[in-house]
Amino acid sequence: MSTSESLAFDPNRGVAAWRRVADAIEADISSGRLLPGDRVAPEQQLAERFGVNRHTVRRGLSALAERGLVRATQGSGTFVEARPLAYPIGLKTRFSEIMAKAGKEARGEFVSAEHGTADAVIAAALGVTSGAPVLEMHTINRADGVALSLARSFFPLPRFLGLDQMFATKGSLTKAYKKLGIDDYKRLSTRITARPADAGEAQSLDIPPGRTLLVVNSINVDMAGERIQATQSRFVADRVELVVER
């Protein structure tokens, strides 16, 4: 304890009351005093605890809700949301490894596949000519059974003939690649945008329509630098936080 004029300093000055409420609740969440699924104390009780009006509490909770830390249900209460899973994006982005590190069971769920031809966008991404044959595959990635992302991937043919069946069997793209003699690969580029989910996506991902998706367009190359995969993934922004690493 220091004793000086700095005793007169109030760290809360210039900090809105609603901000203090929000920060205190966030501290409870960060510290683990409030866990995902836990119910935050009722607004009126928080108002009494912080010595503010209930509206001020609502303002603070609204800020937290906006950031996805809590979710309020009318009549029921305000609950702590599960924290988005940190999803590192780097040279070696491997779904199964990320899940293992997070202590979650990884499952790549095969949805469908078909042979087609590359349009201009896919051709450019894969470094092939427009109209070249490609394998198009649709998958859902789940962690502990909960859908994290939808993926629409393109692979050059005839090199990746049968990859879809191997993936359907193994549930892992890395393993399917190994079967085709590709022991390692890396990320060439990643482009990220975001948008609301459409009805089909929402249903596949088991989220309310309109919730935000992170849209990730990526290109993978084999160790010789040859382009092997172009993917558009749609992550549930509520469930996944992309971490760009150097």
Partner DNA sequence: CCATGTTGTCTATTAAACTAGACAACTCGA
Partner DNA sequence: TCGAGTTGTCTAGTTTAATAGACAACATGG
Helix (H) or strand (E) holding 21: helix 17-31
Residue (166 or 236) nearer to its own copies, CB? 236
C-alpha to C-alpha distance for 49 and 44, rounded to whole angstroms: 9
C-alpha to C-alpha distance for 57 and 40, rounded to whole angstroms: 12
Which of DNA, its own copies, none binds 214 (CB below 5-8 Å, type-dependent)? its own copies
Binding mask 38-67 for DNA (x = CB under 7 A): --x-xxxx-----xxx-xx-xx-x------
Helix (H) or strand (E) holding 65: helix 54-66
Residue 2 binds its own copies, judged by CB under 8 A: yes
**Number of residues lying near its own copies (CB under 8 A):** 32
Helix-helix angle 43-50:54-66, to 10 degrees: 110
* Binders of its own copies in range 65-84 (CB under 8 A): 66-68, 84
116 touches 137 (CB < 8 A): no
Q: How many CB atoms lie within 10 A of CB 61?
A: 21
Residue 129 binds DNA, judged by CB under 7 A: no
Closest approach, Cβ 108 to its own copies, in A, equals 22
12 touches 24 (CB < 8 A): no
C-alpha to C-alpha distance for 205 and 240, rounded to whole angstroms: 12
State the DSSP code for 76.
T
Tokens of 12: 């809360």
State the DSSP code for 180.
T
Position among 15, 27, 111, 121 found at the interface with its own copies (CB under 8 A): 15
Q: Is residue 133 reached through a cis peptide bond, with omega within 30 degrees of 0 on the bond before it?
A: no
Residue 208 binds its own copies, judged by CB under 8 A: no
Position among 77, 84, 88, 127 found at the interface with DNA (CB under 7 A): 77
C-alpha to C-alpha distance for 108 and 207, rounded to whole angstroms: 18
Residue 187 binds its own copies, judged by CB under 8 A: no
Residue (3 or 73) nearer to its own copies, CB? 3
Residue 119 binds its own copies, judged by CB under 8 A: no
Segment contacting its own copies (CB under 8 A): 5-13, 98-106, 118-126, 168-176? 5-13
For DNA, the binding residues (CB under 7 A) are 13-14, 16-19, 40, 42-45, 51-53, 55-56, 58-59, 61, 72-78
Binding site for its own copies (CB under 8 A): 1-6, 8-9, 13-16, 18-20, 22, 63, 66-68, 84, 86, 192, 212, 214, 237-238, 240-244
